[in-house]
A = this chain, B = another copy of it.
Amino acid sequence: MMQHFTCWADVPQPLELLASAKALKQNPWADEGLGKHRTLGLIFFNPSLRTRLSTQKAAYNLGMQVIAMDINEQGWKIETQDGAIMNGDKAEHIKDAVGVMGQYCDIIGVRTFATLSDQEQDYQDFTLEQFKKYAGVPIVSLESAIRHPLQSLADWLTIEEHKTRPRPKVVLTWAPHPKALPQAVANSFAEWMQNTDYEFVITHPEGYELAEEFSQNVQIEYDQNKAFENADFIYAKNWSNYKNYGKVLNQDMNWTVSAQKMQLTNQAKFMHCLPVRRNVVVMDEVIDGSHSIILPQAQNRVFSAQAVLKALLQR
C-alpha cells in the first residue's frame, strides 16, 4: 500500500502502477467517483506549467476537488529551520503551514526545488521531508530538490509505448544550458531506469557525475557519440555540477543534441521533460523532427499523476 509518492522506493508494485497509468489513458473517467469529496492541495514553491496543469487534470478525471496555491506569493514567507526564533521576515513555520494544509486536504502535492547552494539540505530533500513529517496525509512530489518521480513514471510509460524491441537502449545525455539547473530530473530518471530491464546508459562530461545514490549501478559513458550508438531513446537534460555543487562548469555546445548526432542512433526517439532551451540543449531540427516524442511524453504526465492519485485514494 503506497503511503506517499516521492521516489521509486515509495512504490510497492511499480509494474502495477505502470499498468494502471496505461489503463487510465484508455479510459480516463473510469474512476471518476473515486475522488468524490476528496481534496487535492497543490503547493508550489516554484514555477510549474506541465505539472500544474496535468496534475489538476488528473485529479479532475478522478472527481477530486483541487486547491492550488503559490505559497510564497499567495501565502506567507515560510521558515523551515527547527527551533528558529522567528523575528525576521518569515511569518510562518513550515510545520504549522503543513499541519494546517493536512487539515484541509486529503492528499498534498508539493513542488520544491533545490537551493543549489546547500547540498546537504537539498540531498536530505528537506522541505519535502517536512511535508511528509507534518501533513498527516499522503504527499505527492511535484518535483523535489532531488527527484521528479511523476515525470519519471510518465517517461517510463512513454518508453513502453514507443519501444520497438523488448529491451531498448535508453540513453540519458547531459546537454549544455546557460543557467544552473537542479539534478532532480536526471536523478529520478536514473533511479527509475535502473529498476527496469532496459539497457540504460548515462553520458555526460567527466566531472558531471550524478550523486552516487542515483548513479552507482548505472553504466556511464563519457563519449557521447559512443553512447548514442544503437540507442533507441535519447533523453536530453542538463544538470548543474554535483561535486562543485550547483556550479555551471561546462557549456560545451558539442554536447547539444543535433540531427547529426541522432544519426548515430538506432533511429532513436528524442525525449525531454520540458521546458527546454532550444538550440542549446537540442537543435530545432531534432525536437521538431518526426522522432521527437516530447508531446506524447508531456501528455503522459496526466496519466502518471492519475495513477498515483488513484493508488493513494485507494489506500
Q: Bound state CA distance, A274 and B98, in angstroms?
A: 12
Contact A104 B53 (CB under 8 A): yes
A99 — which chain B residues lie within 8 A by C-beta? Answer: 294-295, 298
A54 — which chain B residues lie within 8 A by C-beta? Answer: 104
Partner of A103, one of B74, B91, B298: B298
Q: Does A284 sit at the interface, judged by CB under 8 A?
A: yes
A213 — which chain B residues lie within 8 A by C-beta? Answer: none
Contact B57 A96 (CB under 8 A): no
Contact B47 A75 (CB under 8 A): yes
Interface of A (DSSP majority class): mixed
Q: Does A263 sit at the interface, judged by CB under 8 A?
A: no
A87 — which chain B residues lie within 8 A by C-beta? Answer: 178, 277, 280
Q: Does A160 sit at the interface, judged by CB under 8 A?
A: no
Q: Does A194 sit at the interface, judged by CB under 8 A?
A: no
A65 — which chain B residues lie within 8 A by C-beta? Answer: 56-57, 60
For A61, the closest partner residue in chain B by CB is: B37
Contact A97 B277 (CB under 8 A): no
Interface-located stretch among A78-86, A125-133, A204-212, A223-231 = A78-86
A57 — which chain B residues lie within 8 A by C-beta? Answer: 39, 65, 67, 104
Interface residues on A, range: 35 or more
Q: Bound state CA distance, A96 and B91, in angstroms?
A: 33
User: Beyond A275-B91, A299-B103, is A49–B71 a contact (Cβ under 8 Å)?
Assistant: yes
Q: Does A48 sit at the interface, judged by CB under 8 A?
A: yes
Min Cβ gap A24→B in Å is 13
11 contacts between A and B (CB under 8 A): A37-B61, A41-B53, A47-B75, A49-B101, A76-B275, A83-B279, A84-B278, A85-B280, A92-B275, A96-B294, A104-B299
Given contacts A47-B74, A49-B101, A53-B104, 9 further A-B contacts (CB under 8 A): A39-B60, A50-B100, A52-B74, A53-B100, A54-B104, A57-B104, A73-B73, A96-B274, A104-B302
